[in-house]
A = this chain, B = another copy of it.
Amino acid sequence: MEVQELIHEMGVKARAAAGAMRAFSTERKNEALLAIADALEAAKPQIDAANAEDVAAAKANGLAPAMVDRLTLTDARFKSMVDGVRYIVELPDPVGEAIWTRERPSGITITKVREPFGVIAVVFESRPNVFVDTAALCLKTSNAIILRGGKEALRSNLALNEAVRAGLLKAGLPADAVQLVGTTDHAAVAELVRSVGLVDVAIPRGGERLIRAMCEAALIPVLKHYKGVCHVYVDDKANLPMALSILDNSKVQRPSACNAAETLLVHEKLAPVFLPMVRAWAADKGVTLHDDGAGVEYLSLDLNVATVPDVDAAIAYVNANGSHHSDAIVTDDAERAAKFLRDVDSAAVYHNASTRFTDGAEFGMGAEIGISTDKLHARGPMGLEELTTYKYVVRGDGAIRG
């Protein structure tokens, strides 16, 4: 089948499944998630075998060890993936929640209600557990989902897809609420994001190149997460041990995370005192300091350091060089803190706290499908609520407009 025809057919099936999904209560959806968890456990031998084939092929093709690692579904990862599905059962269901209700003088009562999007397309890269994780979040919010994974994980994803759909069927939900794009043809991604009327929103879960390619091709909305170039600004009115502790946590706790700090900004008055402390800390923790890394996303134990004359310059630096993700000020000056929090144009802005907190679980959302650096619809961590839209439900007793 041609790719265009294939994606169109999948979209039509997904749209029908999305329509059917509206009828299922939270209880029925939770039963289906539990059935999926069971089905995954029952299919573990087949999934493991498929994954082993993918890993062997990846090694034979000379894939980088980091990629091979991501591809590998260890027993621990398998368990954590299945636990994740059961955890989503426990989370509150946003669908049907009333955001507000208004009675209007015209005689109508308006309720703004959270609704599923309908059909979500997710394009991800090598980690097969993303398939299950994403499918579970979309099902919990009554959405149908079309998934497209990396070609090196195709066998694993096909096995996971089979188990998830078996779980859905067993629970009496439409199997087509979850579909995997089975072709590795690159044109499939472009077709997906051009499926106006069939796919409501696309979510890339991968690197910058994937995201850019999807945005270039897209006619439907794309919820995206570009890079995380996060800053810690240490003001001259900072508590220095606190500043060093926040810097340490922001940079070292998990340098590969998008909410890890990449640049330290220091008030120039403080530099003679604080920079020697930073150098000692860097030597101790194995952090390499740079002075030419404005805007660089290291994702490693590297840190760009710059001095600024005041908080205004710090704000300007962050807005010009950052990625509008997570940025922190460390200061005891309330006025400067307020200015930084107001004027830094980022999804999350911090006062005397680590940038590492930008995370669905840390924010109390329970689960996270990604962190948006966009400003439309979702900004920052995206949980279940961000996988919904809303509609206005209007009730009258024959009300007409005057």
Contacts and interface: CB of A to CB of B under 8 A. Distances in A.
Interface in A361-381: 362-364, 374-377, 379-380
A138 interface: no
Contacts of A22: 342-343
A242 interface: yes
Of A201, A345, A358, A374, chain B has the most CB atoms within 10 Å of the CB of A345
Interface string A201-245: 100000000000001100101010000000000000001001001
Contact of A390 (B110, B249, B362, B379): B379
A392 B353 contact: no
A375 B110 contact: no
Contacts of A242: 398
A311 to B, nearest CB: 13
B351 A392 contact: no
A113 B257 CA distance: 25
A253 interface: yes
Interface of A: 19, 22-23, 102, 104, 106-108, 110, 117-118, 200-201, 215-216, 219, 221, 223, 239, 242, 245-246, 248-249, 253, 319, 341-343, 345-354, 356-358, 362-364, 374-377, 379-380, 389-401
10 contacts: A102-B364, A216-B219, A248-B400, A249-B401, A253-B401, A349-B391, A351-B394, A353-B394, A376-B389, A379-B392
